[in-house]
Structure 1
């Protein structure tokens, strides 16, 4: 049976209600000390809202032990419950597949301009691994709950305003990675006397600013900057588009979730 009864489409009203729900739910999960990684945090909030409002969700990605391209569609008659669909999505989908990074062209999300971001949109963070399977992939994401960021003339880097974010995360230890409790933080931008941009955050271990590689083998740079340290490097992350704003592809959810009885994922492969 379908994961839930589908009675509505993603129209402007539904999307606006999703935005309000996402901001409230992010705070609720933070206060609850929910343990979750970054992609699952955003997916959980999307599915909770959609299932409660009878809206379709179709997420593409590579799942299972054989890493097979799969369409996880809430309207298909293969789910025993909403919880079964939720678990399949959380177990199978990663940040890179949500953001359409290297080897992924699923259009689960669409990019938006910095000035057009709204609550419920997300910020993708590019992995800095120079070699291997993670090179060029989006390794982290954050949920935006409020934003006044502005970037004139379509520039990639904000020049003023602020944004509140919440995120799931991973903590890397001797025995591998494990999810952390939900974290929150804020971006603040201002123009200085030389025309540069400064960034501050309230979150500690997250992707903000550049620091020494956390893994000598991968050379992957995780970002530990906070409270104004390494402001120049943090600004360069936006300028280099190492951070990109994205939005759920609600039109694709409608198209595939309301029209087709069978959904076939695009065969994008991995370059």
Structure 2
């Protein structure tokens, strides 16, 4: 087997660097052979979840242009060619294009008088200007969308069919609709995590994290703690402290809500102080 080399990527995650395989490894690597023919997904290939697309389509029908009787098309697909797509009939483009060529796409649609409602990155919405800005409206929604390829992008929209003479419109209602649809889907798929309540004399690392966030220095001597794990793999390791020591600590005002500044030593072997 060849030597494996790993390094940090731009996201700070460890990933393996592809090294040259031996002749035997190449011959036996059937999965690698099959993988070469699979389409590669990048952050430019953002596939919109169906529940988000449906909400946006309904909003367009109500606020931009009636879609009844129109042929709503989605020309942007892997290895597709939007220039040679069939735009015949009374069609309207409602799709999520590759953001890197968004200006080029808009110029093409303006040249051929094709109506569109396109997704666009919210942070750089105004940097995607086309050659022809007539009748173009920028819809600021900043909708948080997690696309099917895992990319999470704040998304706004651009259309050339907005009624009136609006050039920029901020639509909190569209943001809300997308968020509600996303929350509903997450509620259906996300498993609710159990919440644990510990006795007063038991602390966990999560509790101590809250203490550290409040600029508190808390020292726990070895003889005042006992580590143990509760039954079940879901329970974290916690420390069981002396009931008397923790009572003194709390009576002296060391609570998560309303810490005292300038502490005093609590007992002979309990030290909690602030900077």
Give the shorter-chain TM-score range.
under 0.3
Structure number with larger C-alpha Rg: 2
